[in-house]
Amino acid sequence: MISIIGLVSLIGMLVVSVVLHELAHGWVAFRMGDSTAQQLGRLTLNPIAHIDWLGSIVLPALCALLGSPVWIAWAKPVPVNSRNLKNPENDMMWIAIAGPLTNITLAVVVGILFRIFLNTGSIVSGEIAYQLMIQFVFLNLGLAVFNLIPIPPLDGSKILMPFLSGRSRYWFSVIAPYGIGIILCISFTGVLSRLVTGIIMPIGQGLLYGI
């Protein structure tokens, strides 16, 4: 079972990661002509504007305390009015990409710092900073991979949409209302955990320790 200090640290890293993820969505939407997020006060680093107390705090804490292999968490989605965009479908794709790309960037930056600190002896195995940096890298890689899954309402579904046509687009719209249920099903069956872990483990190991 995770310690209280470990739990607080993980929740803190999760809040930082999801806040920057959502802020990236809002900032790109703003740059593309939609000021909805700005008008609603979502273009801010203030976590209170972004976190959902149930999805960002309570559920992750319960998952950690219960030792669940799968964490269920979410932040408040950044509102985007596609009618304000010049090319709604393509612009929504770039807005969606911004979130996972932010998490990947965070993982890469901290991974590089980790390598520098490790090679210079600034941190050693077992130190708190050592553990926190590893957790931060894998957390952000996990958020990126999870959000890139092409199931509505995840970012991956919006990224995939411009490339669909005809019957495939129709069936995609049919499953959209059941997206949350599908995600929960594959989460609790362990499929999602194995999928995400199988992708992020080799990437994270390579990023932190080299190929």
**Own/partner long-range contacts of 149-153 (Cβ < 8 Å, ≥24 apart):** 149/183, 149/192, 149/195, 151/175, 151/179, 151/182, 151/183, 152/176, 152/179, 153/77, 153/179, 153/180
State which amino acid sits at residue 8: V
Amino acid at 99: G
Residues marked as catalytic:
22
- Residue 51 dihedral angles phi and psi, to the nearest 5°: -75, 145
